[in-house]
Each structure stands twice: as C-alpha cells, then as structure tokens.
Amino acid sequence: METSETEEAIEAHKLKKTLAELVHKNRWWILAVVATAQLMVVLDATVVNIALPSAQKALGFSNADRQWIVTGYALSFGSLLLLGGRIADLFGRKITFIIGLFGFAIASAIGGASTGFPMLVTARAVQGAFGALLAPAALSLLTTTFTDSSERGKAFGIYGAIAGAGGAIGLLLGGVLTEYLSWRWSLYVNLIFAIAAAVGGIIFLNKDHRGQRPKLDVPGVVLASAAMFSVVYGFSHAETSSWSNSITIGFLVAAFVLLISFVFVETKVSHPLLPMRVVLDRNRGGSYLSVFIASVGMFGVFLFLTYYLQETLHYSPVMTGLAFIPMIALLVVSATVTTAKLLPRFGPKYLVSTGMLIAAVGMIMLGRVGINSSYISVVLPALLILGLGLGGIMAPSMNTATAGVTPADAGVASATVNTSQQIGGSIGTALLNTLAASAGTAFLAGKTANNHILAEAAVHSYLAAFRWSAVVFVVGGVIAGSLLKTGAPQVIEATQPVAVH
C-alpha cells in the first residue's frame, strides 16, 4: 500500500514538473495572450466614447440616455471585479479567462448589432460583467506565470504600459473605426481581440488541478458588489446632476456604510472574499492606493485634453488619437525600463513617488494651453513628460500590488488592482468634470457670451482640470513615498505549475 502511494506521489511530482517546464517554455506566449485580453478590456472604456455621437444619431436616443452607455459598462465592471477575482481563484484561472473572453465577445457582437438603446445599454452592461471575470484572471495568470524577478519586471512593464496607455489607444482606435467604418465597429473590433486571445489561451494555458477548494464568501460578495455599485453610481450621478442631489448623497453614504460592513465581515468569516492579509501589507496597500490616485489624475489627460484638441484646436477624432501616440510610446518605454531594470534594484518607493511628481509636472505644463496654442511647442512636451511619469507609476505599482501573494490569493489581489483603477477612473471623471464646470461658470460670470468668450471659458475649464490633476499627483507622490518601501518586492517562487489553473 505504501509503495503504491509512493509511486503515485512520484508520478504526480513528475506531472507537475512537466507542466511547470511547459509553462516556463510558453511564458512569453502567455504574456502575449494576457496582454491582448487586457488591452481589449482597458481600451473598451474609451473606444466607445468617440463613437457615441454617431451611435446616438443612428439609434435616436437622448443625451441623458447617452451617459448610460458609458455608465452601464462601468457599473457592472466595477461592481463585480472582486467576485471575478475570487471566481478565478476558486474555479480556475484558465476556464475563467476563456469564459470571460467568449462572453465579452458575444456581448460586443450584440452591442454592435443593436437596433435601439435598450439593446445597446444591456450589451454594454453584460460586457462589463464578463470584463470583471476576464481582467483579474488575466493579471493573476501573469502573476503566477512570472516568478523570476527579472522576467517579472519585463512582463509587468509591458502589462503596466498597456494598462496606462489603453485609454489613449481606445481614443485613437475609436476615432479611426468611427471615421472610416462605422460606430458599430467600435464594438465589433472586440471580436478580433477576444478570438485571438481565446485561441492563444486554449493553446498555451494548461489546467492546474487543485485539491480542496474553499467556500465562496456570499455575504462578502453581496456587500462588496453593492458597495462598488454605489460608489460608481454615486459619482456618475454627481457628474450628471450635482453633489448636493439627494440620490448622489444617498448612494455615496450607502457606499461608505457598505464598505465598512464589508471590512467587518471579512475579518469574521472563515473564507473571506478579500483576505485582509492581501491589502494590509504595506507595499501592496500603497500600490493599490497609487493605482487609484493615478487613475483619478489620468482622466485629466484623456478626457479634457481630448475636449481641448477636438473642440478648441478642431482636430478630427483620428488626429486626436494620433496626438496621444508620443505619450503612449514614452509610457511603454518608461514602464518597461522602470519595472525590469529599476524596480528590482530600488524598490517601488522612489519609482512610484517620482513618477507621480513627474506626472504632476506634465499636468502643470498642460496648464499653459490657450485658444491658439501649438501642439508641437505646448501640448507635445507635456504629453512626453506625462508618459514618462505614468510609466513609472502604473507598471511598478501593479507588479508590487501582486507580489508576495500566494497562488490561492492571486485572483483577488489582481481584482483589487483592477478595482482601484476602475473606481479611481470613475471618481476622477466626476470630480474633474465638476471642478472644470465650476471654473468655466465662474469665468463667464459678468461677461457677455459670444463665441470667443465661450471658447475662452472652455479652455479655462480644461486648465482647472489639469491643475487639479497636478494636485492629485502631488498628493499621490506623498502617499507613495510614505507607504511604499525600498527594496525589490518579495515574490513567492513557484514550486509547482501554478501559472495556469
């Protein structure tokens, strides 16, 4: 009997070793698959924005309804991310990843074929739900595949660059597709990404069998989903109504109460949705905050600079997207170099805090734009500085935020990164829109409105958004410098084929 058990153990060890070697051999293909899926999810937050006016004209829905095409996606995505991350941990990263891809693709096809507003907004909400499955699974696959510190740096550099630049890529792609094909292709294009990633996933990802699985924390799921929904909806409602609106206040108060209740429940249950050990680690907690703060500030670039280029400088959607390309290029270089070369040597403290301050300088430089500013002499230098700074924030933060977690927690740790980014973007959009609108209104006070004055008021509102974004990045630099540590993030070395599940 003992001999039989020993033989079984030897065979199991051989199988694990073989799978581990296969994963190691295919690791760069796995990165390509994960990066493709992540790009699809990130750019989908902005690719549809450019197409919205055309979609509105074609389907005949109101301006009030138009906001829901964006909000519907954000609500379901933000609300379900933690659940999606834990599902990946419980039921398998590979199967969760593949299901997320196919679901996202089907929802995109339905959205592209929409015959009216209800069909389109439902498709966007379903997209968000499957995105919430897909995004944490993608990042956790990366986390468990790359455990060597030098290779991990390169992989997270590429991934972080995509996370930081995906919004700008979405603007460019949305402009090209809308101008030369149709607004429907801003949704249909996801099928190309999803099918490519799904085929790669089926080929290169292996199923990792696990023993006993913990139970799902149902109270935690309900509280977390309700809290994230309330946060996203509360800030979205503030953006379209006001901060003093009773519905806005009600949802934000509810979000606060639900979050407190969620933390309390997570400390009591035996199998928490989000184990406190994941977020209470100083490096990881600081990284989550850094991703959140950077996402708040980044929308000062993507949102208001888009307005400025199109409405003030009269750029076409395609030209607007192309204007962001230099920033994307430097962001990719910065993210790759800082994570691969500098993070293992210096740790996240100095990299992320310096990246925040560099981004703040870029925002201050954008604060020099005027009605007739030159792109080459005014906008481009600011974008290059921003690309340098954002690359130093996003990739090192994402690497550190998932370093040192056990494979069993990789999905939920990854989901927390995505949640920080999503909630930060929602809050940034609402806050900066409000501050910009207030600045524009104050500028118009006592003036006789004409085309020139209105153009000046618009620019004045953008400047307010850029300057407040600079403040956000400075605060982020202080927080990152206070919380994050020096020294390379600790990584749990893989002793079994945990890279795929």
For residue 186 the two structure tokens come to: 């801003």
pLDDT at 178: 81
Residue 56 lies in a domain: yes
- Joined tokens for residue 115: 């015959």
Query: 224 and 211 in one domain?
Result: no
Let me know whether 338 and 476 are in one domain. Answer: yes
**What whole-number distance in Å separates Cα of residue 161 and Cα of residue 329?**
9
Residue 192 shares a structural domain with residue 290: yes
CA distance 448 to 65: 32
| Res 489: pLDDT | 67
Q: Is residue 492 part of a domain?
A: no
200 with 230, same domain?
no
Tokens of 269: 């249950």
Do 161 and 237 belong to one domain?
no
Q: Specify if 7 maps to a domain.
A: yes
**Chain Cα centroid distance, residue 337:** 21
- pLDDT per residue, tens digit, the chain (501 aa), is 455 555 555 554 454 555 455 456 778 888 888 888 888 887 777 777 778 778 888 888 876 677 788 788 888 888 888 888 888 888 888 899 999 999 999 999 999 999 999 999 999 999 999 998 888 888 888 877 877 766 777 787 787 777 767 777 887 888 888 888 888 998 999 999 999 999 998 888 876 555 556 677 888 889 989 998 898 888 888 877 778 889 999 999 999 999 999 999 988 888 888 888 888 888 889 999 999 999 898 876 777 888 888 888 988 878 888 888 898 889 888 988 888 888 888 889 999 999 999 999 999 999 899 888 899 999 999 999 999 999 899 888 988 888 877 777 777 888 888 888 888 887 888 888 888 888 888 888 878 778 888 888 989 999 999 999 999 999 999 999 999 887 766 655 443 333 433
In a domain, 494, yes or no: no
DSSP state, residue 271: S
Residues 417, 352: one domain?
Answer: yes
pLDDT computed for residue 492 by the predictor: 53
Alpha-carbon gap, residue 121 to 71, rounded angstroms: 9
Task: Please state, in angstroms and rounded to a whole number, the distance separating the CA atoms of residues 320 and 346.
Answer: 37
Number of other residues whose CB lies within 10 A of the CB of residue 438: 12
Can you give the pLDDT at residue 497?
Answer: 38
Q: Is residue 169 part of a domain?
A: yes
Domain presence at residue 388: yes
In a domain, 499, yes or no: no
Rg (CA), the chain: 23
Same domain, 349 and 418: yes
Which among 138, 140, 110, 144 is positioned nearest to 124, based on CA atoms? 110
Helices 63-91/117-145 angle, 10° precision: 30
142: exposed, middle or buried (C-beta count within 10 Å: 0-12, 13-18, 19+)?
buried
Helix axes 218-240, 246-266, angle to 10 degrees: 160
pLDDT value of residue 38: 83
Residues 229 and 375 both lie in one domain: no
Residues 166 and 242 in one domain: no
- What's the CATH number where 174 sits? 1.20.1250.20
- Whether 334 is in a domain gets the answer yes
* 212: number of Cβ within 10 Å: 4
The Cα-based distances of 379 to 104, 374, 414, 444, 462 in angstroms read 35, 7, 34, 25, 13
Q: Which domain holds residue 420?
A: 2-216+273-483
Q: Which two tokens stand for residue 479?
A: 């927080």
Residue 264 and residue 214 in contact, taking contact as beta carbons nearer than 8 Å: no
Q: Which of 234, 249, 272 is the last residue of a domain?
A: 272
Whether 106 and 228 share a structural domain: no
Q: Which parts of 371-450 fold into alpha helices (H)?
A: 380-402, 410-444
- Domain-terminating residue out of 253, 272, 291: 272
Asked if residue 303 and residue 246 are part of one domain, the reply reads no
- 308 and 418 part of one domain: yes
The total number of structural domains that make up the chain = 2
340's tokens = 């691969």
d(CA 38, CA 194): 10
